[in-house]
Structure 1
């Protein structure tokens, strides 16, 4: 077993920044108002299962369509870059369609808000640099944090306030931007 606390911490921070559960509190509160109730446990567990399955099957899917992990990691770096720009500049580059026909705990909360394109791309990008078991631990810790945030979203919003949420988004945006640059530079050399 290749357990490495530094890898777990880095993978946790990257996923935490990409998922941006604290920054999504306003969206969660809005979903709660529209749907009436959000099952925090169900949303957290389903998002965690989607991420772990993709961590293991993502490579197979890529091999099936003829893409190597380094190419995917570079593409992931671009996605992280744009997510970071959204967080830092407070703009929306990608607008998701709202769908309220299904249970809000599963769609759109667990997928694609939590386990969406950004987090799934990030998982495979992390897999190109870190040991799988460390990423799994980071995913599980993130799922626990997501569950806590979902359960206490109203109290967190009242405590931190909108300005606090904006500051947290911008700080994690800068961290994510730096990670995107590192991911790009460490994988592009394998393609050139």
Structure 2
């Protein structure tokens, strides 16, 4: 039981469901409740599939393409920084204004669900690397099934946080959303730089 609890805590900390709530609010600014619900559900399911895949065959998948987790972390950080830039300088808001006359398309919602929500925010480098390590610890079929259950519980918590975030958005109002988006853009940029720095440092160490 102690191992299962440790695995749950490890994934909970690396995924950080509470920390995803404000980012989800910022990324889905201007969307209605049903659109947010669809995006949250799709992102959660995709992230669950990704983590289960890496739990079952993570090391083999990265090795097949010759990719290290450090390179994955660096690439994810660069992509996150691009999103943070858009949030800080309202590039996303400009696109929302240009499309204000029409509803958000299915393709746009699908794209947002995959990137950056499902990956790298939910199933990010930290969560994937933790899942790969746990997959090696929970090697037997029954224990591997328990690990998948632990992943499912964490993803369910993420989706629950996304549903609550919609209520928080109503309280914030338009001004609160603007302030929150800018602030979170700065935080996300710092997080992205940290991802890149950690990834490059690990790559440099591996080269020696």
Same structural fold, with TM-score higher than 0.5 when normalized by the shorter chain: yes
Unaligned runs of 5+ in 2: 96-103, 138-146
Which structure's residues are more often helix, by fraction?
A: 2
Check whether the contact 1:87–1:169 (CA below 8 A) recurs between aligned residues: yes
- For 2:80 and 2:21, the matched residues in 1 are separated by 13
SS of structure 1 residue aligned to 2:50: helix
Check whether the contact 2:51–2:128 (CA below 8 A) recurs between aligned residues: no
2:193 aligns with 177
Check whether the contact 1:23–1:168 (CA below 8 A) recurs between aligned residues: yes
- TM-score scaled by structure 2? 0.57
- TM-score scaled by structure 1? 0.60
Q: How many residues align?
A: 178
Q: Deviations over 1:58-85 (max 9, x none)?
A: 43223333x042xx42242143144136
- Gap change, CA 1:165 and 1:148, over 3 Å in 2: farther
| Deviation of 1:26 (Å) | 4.5
1:100 aligns with 106
| Deviation of 1:142 (Å) | 5.6
- Gap change, CA 1:11 and 1:136, over 3 Å in 2: farther
- For 1:173 and 1:38, the matched residues in 2 are separated by 26
- For 1:125 and 1:164, the matched residues in 2 are separated by 28
2:171 aligns with 159
- For 2:8 and 2:120, the matched residues in 1 are separated by 26
What root-mean-square deviation, in Å, do the aligned CA atoms of Structure 1 and Structure 2 show?
4.5
Check whether the contact 1:52–1:139 (CA below 8 A) recurs between aligned residues: yes
1:132 aligns with 134
2:98 aligns with none
Describe how 1:59-138 pairs up with structure 2 within 5 A: 59-65=59-65, 67-69=66-68, 72-84=69-81, 86-87=83-84, 90=88, 100=106, 104=109, 107-108=110-111, 110-116=113-119, 120=123, 122-123=125-126, 126-127=129-130, 131-132=133-134
1:49 aligns with 48
- For 1:185 and 1:137, the matched residues in 2 are separated by 33
1:23 aligns with 23
Post-superposition, which runs of at least 4 consecutive aligned residues in structure 1 deviate over 4 A?
4-10, 117-121, 133-142
Of 179-188 and 112-121, more deviation after overlay is shown by 112-121
- Gap change, CA 1:21 and 1:177, over 3 Å in 2: farther
Unaligned runs of 5+ in 1: none
